[in-house]
Structure 1
Amino acid sequence: MSPSSEHNGSFLGILSFRRYQIVSMDVQQEQQLQELEYFQNHVSERFSEFISPSPPPSDPLLSIPWLRSLLHVFTSCETEFKEVLLTTAQISRTPSLEKVLTETLDRIVKALDICNAVVNGIESVKQSRRLAEIAVTALKQRPLCSGSVRRARRALTSLLTGGSNADAKDKSSSRRRTTSRSWSFGQRGNVNVSKNWSAGKQIQAMAANLVLPRGAEASGHAMMPVYIMNSVMVLVMWVLVAAVPCQTSSVPVAPLQLPKHQSWASAALNVQERVGEEVKRKEKRFGGLMEEMQRMESIGLSLVEFTERFRFPAEEEDEGEVEEKVDEMDEICRRMEVGLEDLQRQVRAVFQRLVRIRLEIVSVLDQAPAI
C-alpha cells in the first residue's frame, strides 16, 4: 500500500469514528431529553393524582393518611429522579451543575435532620394519644363516678397543656434520645442537638437559594430535574414540619416560589397553598396541624368542660352528651394507633432514601468528567 493510500485510509477511519461519536452523542442527548420530559410528567401526574384523588372522598388535609400519601408521592418522584440522575451522569460537569448538586447535598443533610425531628415529634403525638385513651377508658365507666371523672380530667389536662409545650419537650427528649449517627453528618463528637436548632429555620435555609434555572441553564439536561427534585423535597419537609410537633420556632407560610406555568409546579403549588392556609388560620396549640390532633384537642376541651361541671350522680342528659364525645375520641385513638406507627416507619424509610440519593449524587460528582 502506498503512503498516500495508507494516509487516506487513516483519514477515512478517523472521519468515520468522529461521525460515530456525533451520532452517539445525538442519541444520548435525545435519551436525556426524553428522560427529562418523562420525569416532569411523572412529578406532575403524581401530584395531580394526590390533590385530586379518584374516586372521592379524599383524605382530610394534613390527616395521617393524607401525609402518608404525600410521602408516597415523594418516594415515587425520588425513584424516577435517581434514574434521570444516572442517565445524565455521563454529561460534562459544568460549574453550574456542580454548584447545584453541592447545594443539593447540603439540602439533603438538613432534610435528614428534619426527618429525625419528625420521628421524635410523632413519639409526642403517641403520648398524647395514650393520654386520650386514659380519658376515654375513665369516662366509659358506668355508673360514672367522681373518681373516674377526676382521672379523665388529669389525663385531658396533661394532654392539652403538654401539647402546647411540645416544642420544649421535644428539645429535651431529642437531646436524651438522639445519637450522633442519627442527626445527619459531621456531628460525631456531639450527641446533643443545639438548643438553637429549629425545623422552621431549616426549611427557610433549604428554600433560600433554590432558584429556577433560566436561559442556557434551563436547557441543561440535569439542571431542571435537580431543581424539581429539590423543590419537591423542600415542599414535603415543610408539610411534615407544619403537621407534626417538632423542634421549631415558626413555620414559613409559603417556603417556595414555584413556576406556575409548569404543570408539575402548578400541582405542587396547590398543596403548598392549601397547607399554607391552614398554617395561617389555625392556632398551633400542639405545635402541629395534624388533623387527628386538632380533632383530639377540640374534643378534649369539650370533655374538660364536662369534667369541671360534673356532679355525682350524673344526669342522663349529661351522660348521653359525653358518651358521644367519648366515642368520637375513642375512634380517633384507634385510627391513630396504627396510623402513627405506619407514618413513623415511612418517615424513617424516607430518611434512608435520602441517604442513598446523597451517595448517588456524590458518585456523580466524583465520576462525571469536568470541562
Structure 2
Amino acid sequence: MPGTEPQPSFLGRISIRRNQVSAMDVNHDPELEELELFQKHVADRFTDLLSPQEEVASTETLLSISWLRKLVDVFLCCEAEFKAVLIMGRDPSQICKPPLDRLIPELLDRAVKALDICNAVSSGIDSVRQYQKFAEIAVSALEQKPMDDGQVKRARKALNSLLTAMKVDDKEKDFKGAERTWSFGRRGNTNPFHKERAARYFRSLSMIIAKNWSASKQIQAMSSNLVPPRGGEPTGLALPVYVMSSVMVFVMWALVAALPCQERSGLATHFPIPRQLTWAHSMIGLQERIGEEWKKKEKKGSVGLLEEMQRMEKLALNLIEFADGFQFPGETEKMEEVAAQVAELAEIFRKMGEGLVPLQAQIREVFHRIVRSRTEVLEVLDHAAKISQPTT
C-alpha cells in the first residue's frame, strides 16, 4: 500500500491543544463534555446505520456495498474523534496511568489484528470483482437478440463458473474447484500448465494471508479481552477506549461477514456489549440482524452476506434452470421473465462496478489510518516515558 504524506508534529499539535484547553474557563469541564459528545456521536452514527433516513433506505440495504461504504465512513469518523478525545489537550502521562497502562496496549494489539482483517477483506473484494466479470459474460450472452442455443450455453457456462467461484474459500484444499472455475473458455483443456496458472491466480488473491489464518479466530482474539470499565472508570478515559474498541471489533466483524474471507466458521457468535450503554443499542441491533442472517447462510456454505452477492447467486440459479430447459426459439412469456432477470443481474454488476473500487479504497484508508494512529499513540507513550524519568 502506498505511503501517506508526512504529517506535522503530532506532539506539537497536542501541545497547542493543551494550551487552548488551559486557557478556557476553569469552571467548565471540557473533558467530561468531550466524552459525552463522543458517545452521542457514536450512538447517532450507528442509529443511522440501523435505521437510515427514508430517502436513502432503499439504496442502503443492510450489508449492501453502499451500506458497507457508510459503515467504513462511520469507523473513520469515530476513530478521528476518539484520537482527539484520548490525546489532544491532554497530559501524555495520563494515558500511562492505570487502567490505561493496560487498556491502551490492548487497543494497540487489537489494531494490529484489524490490519490483518483489512488485508483479508481487500482480497475478498478482489474475489467479488471476479464474480462480477462472470455475471457480465452471462448478461452479454443473454441480451443477444434473437437468443439461440449457443448464447444460452455460453451464459450457462459463465453462471456455473460464477457459482463455483463463490464457493471457493481461498484455501489450498479448494484450488481444485478454483481451477475448474478459471478454465472458463477452455473446454476439455487438461494441460497441467493451465491448471497451475489458474491455481496460482486464485492463490494470488490471498497471498498476503497465511494458510492457517482464520478470520473468525482473529475476531475472537480482538474481542476476548473486550470488557466494559468498572468502578469509577466509566466517567474517565477507560470508557472511550472501550467504546472505540467495540466500534473497531464490530466494523471488522461486519466486513468479514459480508465479504469473502478465509475461514469464518462460528462467525455468528456475538461479542457482548452491555445494553445499558446508550450508544450500544443500535450496535446490538445490527449485531442481532447480521448474526441471524449469517446463521442462515452459514448452513449453505455461503461465501458472504454482501447483499449484491446474495441477489446475484439467486438470479444465477434461476437463469441456469432456464438454460437447462431452453429450446429455441423459447416461449414468449418465459423469455420476458428471463429478460427481467437479466436486466436485474446487469443492474447488480453495474452497482458492483461503481461501488467495489471505492470500497476497496476506503479499506486501504482504514489500514493507513490505523497504522498512523497507532504510531502517534506509541509516540505519546514514548514521550510520556521520557518525561517521567528522573533527571540526573
**Of 75-84 and 29-38, the range deviating more from structure 2:** 29-38
1:86 matched to which residue of 2?
87
Aligned to 2:296: 281
Match of 2:13 in 1: none
> Is residue 170–residue 206 contact of structure 2 (8 Å, CA) maintained in 1?
no
User: What is residue 42 of structure 1 aligned with on the other side?
Assistant: 41
Cα distance change, pair 226–200 in 1 and its aligned pair in 2 (3 A):
same
CA distance, structure 2, for counterparts of residue 222 and residue 57 of structure 1: 35
TM-score, structure 1 length as denominator? Answer: 0.84
Contact kept? 1:164, 1:285, Cα under 8 Å: yes
- Deviation of residue 26 (structure 1)? 10
Number of residue equivalences: 336
1:22-49 residue CA offsets vs partner (Å, 9 max, x unmatched) = x999959933222211211111121122
- Name the CA distance, whole Å, in 2 between partners of 1:347 and 1:113: 11
**1:342 counterpart (350, 358, 363):** 358
Per the alignment, residue 246 of structure 1 pairs with 261
Aligned to 1:194: 210
Structure 1 residues 139 and 64: alpha-carbon distance in aligned structure 2, compared to 1, 3 A threshold = same
1:167 aligns to 2:170 (yes or no): yes
- What is the aligned partner in structure 2 of residue 76 from structure 1? 77
1:69-92 superposed Cα distances (whole Å, 9 cap, x missing partner) = 111111111110010121345343
Structure 1: 4+ residue segments shifted above 4 A: 23-29, 169-175, 283-286
Quick check: 1:98–1:365 contact (8 Å CA) kept in 2? Answer: no
| Distance in 2, Cα, partners of 1:161 & 1:174 | 13
Question: Against the structure 1 CA distance between its residues 365 and 258, is the aligned structure 2 distance closer, same or farther, given a 3 Å change threshold?
Answer: same
Shift of 1:50: 2.4
CA distance in 2, matches of 1:57, 1:218: 35
Q: For the residues of structure 1 that align with 2:111 and 2:341, how far apart are their CA atoms? A: 43
Partner of 1:5: none
For 1:1-371, what aligned pairs fall within 5 Å after superposition?
A: 27=26, 30-58=29-57, 59-87=60-88, 88-92=90-94, 93-168=96-171, 176=204, 193-219=209-235, 221-283=236-298, 285-368=301-384
1:43–1:77 CA contact under 8 A, matched in 2: yes
State the distance in 1 between where 2:34 and 2:379 align. 20
Structure 2: give runs of 5+ residues left out of the alignment.
Answer: 1-21, 179-198
Q: CA deviation at 1:300?
A: 0.3
Which of the pair has more CA radius of gyration?
1
Partner Cα separation in structure 2 for residue 28 and residue 195 of structure 1: 57
| Amino acid of the structure 1 residue aligned with 2:102 | K
Give the letter for the 1:301 counterpart: L
| d(CA) in 1 for partners of 2:56, 2:243 | 29
Worse-matched range after superposition: 309-318 or 117-126: 309-318
Q: Deviation at 1:200?
A: 1.1
**In the aligned structure 2, how far is the partner of 1:172 from the partner of 1:264?**
45
Structure 2: how far apart are the matches of 1:26 and 1:364? Answer: 26
Question: Comparing 250-259 with 40-49, which one deviates more in the overlay?
Answer: 250-259
For 1:142-161, what per-residue CA distance to the aligned partner results, in whole angstroms no more than 9, with x for missing partners?
11111111110110000001
Does the 8 A contact of 1:166 with 1:286 survive in 2? no
> 1: distance between equivalents of 2:159 and 2:381?
53
* TM superposition score normalised by structure 2: 0.80
